[in-house]
Chain A
Amino acid sequence: MQRYTWKTGILEAVMILTAIIFFIPLYVLIVTSLKEPNDPTGSLALPAKFTLQNFADAWNQGHLGNALGNSAIVTICSVVVLIVFSSLAAYPLARITRTWSKLAFFGFLIGLLLPFQLALIPLYQTMRDLHLLGTVWALVLFYAGLQMPFSIFLYTSFLRALPIEYEEAAAIDGAGLLTTFWRILFPLLRPITGTVAILNVITIWNDFLTPLLYLSGSGQQTVPVAIYAFVGQYVSQWNLVFAGLIISIFPILLVYFLLQKTVIQGFASGLKG
């Protein structure tokens, strides 16, 4: 193994400095939210007087509670649907070697290339006809479809690298397909399920354009749309706005910090395929 030399020390210093530069924007976000509106200090300085009033005001004026609830419902429901359906679909896609299976896999991959704006507009009308427009269920359905190709891609790649012996043993024991899948395969898929879950949570929680269109005028909002409306209303009251931004990104950052090992290692399992 390489040892820790003076060169490593220099590298360490450079990397830490880079990390500090990376972190400055978030530092400004935090200190600004803690300042009073008439705080005389520059944007890089600590507050002259600390206050938490901005957070209380942002919470009350930004309708963030409702938006956080909606975002949570949409994100959790979509991700559960995605995990169940895409892992199920990956089973035949990974194990059946016939032409139709390859074609189906290719058909799903096309979805990675299509810009979602293309489907967004015609689908808007379909959702309206189904009376789903303005409800969170339109979003759940939308994300389940939109993120399906990516999730299937990750699951199928992972499953292809998984030895087939477990399934054989289960089949010889007389287990049915669904039992084999649920009891044997799904637990083995856990690392990639973590990756699929976290990447979809990030994408869905953060999406802006879809809820902006599909929920507009309904009084329902998700977090990014609530923030957009909030900033539009309190433009240039940065202390208040930044407190709102912090409230809105807090849940996703919390999930990230709690699961950071899974997130970062998850890519390794996603990449193996």
Chain B
Amino acid sequence: MALDRPVRRRKGGIDLNHRRGLWLFLVPAAAIYIFIVLYPSIQGAALSFTDWNGLDPVKNFIGFDNYVKLFHDPKALASVWHTLIIAFTITIVQNLVGLLLALGVNSKIKSRNVLRVVFFAPAVITPVATGYLWQNLLGQKGAVNEFFGFFGIPPVTWLGNQSTAIWAICVVIIWQFAGYSMVIFLANLQGIPQEVIEASMVDGAGPIRRFWSIIRPELAPSLTINLMLSIIGGLKIFDQVWVMTGGGPGGSTETMSTFLYKNAFQFGDFAYGIAIAVVLAILVGIISGGQFVILGRQNRGSK
């Protein structure tokens, strides 16, 4: 195939803006994306204003009724609250652990390559499987109680107790994904020029000062990605909760995802389930958008 027109030169290169037909490359991806994600999402948002039950073709427009119901439903509000608790807890702890692990395996220790592989391994395992594994570990006779038993601590049914279940779930998620955060921080740490760090050592900066004034400002890109991933992942969390507690005991671990699943697919109230999904989408949009703006501002300020 010959060029459609003479190569236009701008700043010594060809101008791809004028290559006819390049836009066609977008078509397959855009078609699938619109069909699978965009259109059904808009459809979903529209259905949340109806009383559709998922089976009948009959849908009546009922305005904001589903949303009004949601804001007066203590179970729905509790699920929002639990979702926020999980999202914020794992965002802070998982990234803190991930950062410490990254700093550890980015040092001169001999086992660093093996340790990287070990810490990331839980992140590739099916969450359904890790959920069942931890259900056993956290059980009355499980390894966690056995371990605490060595120190004379009486056994606790971690997942069966309303005050501990949600925190136990957070621990499981953090165990699974701290290595994921680590790998992202690590990639960033390895991109920091060694000379910068060595120069600071020559200047006599200790490890903590070195981290705070030299390394920390450089970590902005990985921090942005990590916070974004863990917040979005935390807000949407379903698998681990569903497998370990199913939202119980007494609704104490009900998240928005488990709550919408129950309403849509178990209670047959599709429209209400979708309304919860819309609220979840708005929540994700606001929190991650806000975070993006704040971090973007800080990044600019620190450089």
Residues of A in contact with B (beta carbons under 8 Å apart): 1-4, 8, 11-12, 14-16, 18-19, 22-26, 28-29, 32, 42-44, 81, 84-86, 88-89, 91-93, 95-98, 100, 104, 107-108, 110-126, 141-142, 144-146, 148-149, 152, 164-165, 167-168, 171-172, 174-179, 181, 202, 205-206, 208-209, 213, 223-224, 227-228, 231, 238, 241-242, 245, 248-249, 252-253, 255-257, 260, 263-265, 267-268, 270-272
Q: Which of A15, A118, A174, A205 meets B44, CB within 8 Å?
A: A118
Question: Quick check: B175 and A264 within 8 Å, CB to CB?
Answer: no
**B40 and A126: CB pair below 8 A?**
yes
Q: Which chain B residues (1-31) contact chain A, with CB distance < 8 Å?
A: 1-3, 7, 13-14, 16-17, 19, 21-23, 25-26, 28-30
Q: Which positions in B face A, CB cutoff 8 Å?
A: 1-3, 7, 13-14, 16-17, 19, 21-23, 25-26, 28-30, 32-33, 35-38, 40-41, 43-45, 47, 54, 101, 104-105, 107-111, 115-130, 132-134, 136-137, 141-143, 146-147, 175, 179, 183-184, 186-188, 190-191, 194, 201, 221-222, 225, 232, 235-236, 238-239, 242-243, 257, 260-261, 264-265, 270, 273-274, 277-278, 280-281, 284-285, 288-289
Q: Are A43 and B143 in contact (CB under 8 A)?
A: yes
Chain A residues with CB under 8 A of B110? 4, 12
Beta-carbon contact of A224 and B128 below 8 Å: yes
CB contact between A267 and one of B38, B183, B289 (< 8 Å): that residue: B183
- The chain B residue sitting closest to A178, CB to CB, is B1
If A16-B115, A96-B23, A118-B281 touch, whether A264 touches B107 (CB-CB below 8 Å) is no
In the complex, the answer to whether A148 meets B101 with C-beta atoms within 8 Å is no
A4 / chain B contacts, CB cutoff of 8 Å: 108, 110
Decide if the interface of chain A is mainly helix, strand, loop or mixed.
Answer: helix
Give 8 new A-B contacts, CB below 8 A, not counting A4-B110, A81-B32, A206-B125: A16-B115, A43-B146, A95-B16, A118-B44, A118-B281, A148-B33, A149-B33, A268-B190
Q: Is the CB of B274 within 8 A of A252?
A: no
With A12-B109, A15-B111, A149-B33: A44-B143 Cβ-Cβ less than 8 Å: yes
Nearest CB of A to B82, in Å: 16
A174→B183 contact, CB < 8 A:
no
A28 contact from B7, B124, B143, B242, Cβ within 8 A: B143
Q: How far is the CB of B24 from chain A (nearest CB, A)?
A: 8
Tell me if A88 and B25 are in contact (CB < 8 A): yes
Smallest CB–CB gap between B83 and chain A, Å? 11
Which residues of chain B are within 8 angstroms of A112 by Cβ–Cβ distance?
A: 232
Q: Say whether A123 contacts B36, CB under 8 Å.
A: yes
Query: In the bound complex, do residue B30 and residue A89 qualify as a contact, i.e. CB atoms below 8 Å apart?
Result: yes
Complex: A176 Cα to B211 Cα, angstroms: 50
Bound CA–CA A145/B95 (angstroms): 29
* B118 engages A19 (CB within 8 Å): yes
Asked whether B274 lies within 8 Å of A15 as measured between CB atoms, the reply is: no
25 A-B residue pairs with Cβ-Cβ distance under 8 Å, sorted by A, are A1-B108, A2-B201, A12-B111, A14-B104, A19-B118, A26-B122, A43-B136, A44-B146, A96-B16, A114-B284, A118-B278, A144-B32, A146-B37, A168-B13, A172-B14, A174-B2, A178-B1, A179-B1, A227-B128, A227-B132, A245-B129, A267-B184, A270-B187, A271-B221, A271-B225
Chain A residues with CB under 8 Å of B117's CB are 257, 260, 264
Q: Given A85-B28, A118-B280, A256-B121, answer yes or no on A43-B142 (Cβ-Cβ < 8 Å).
A: yes
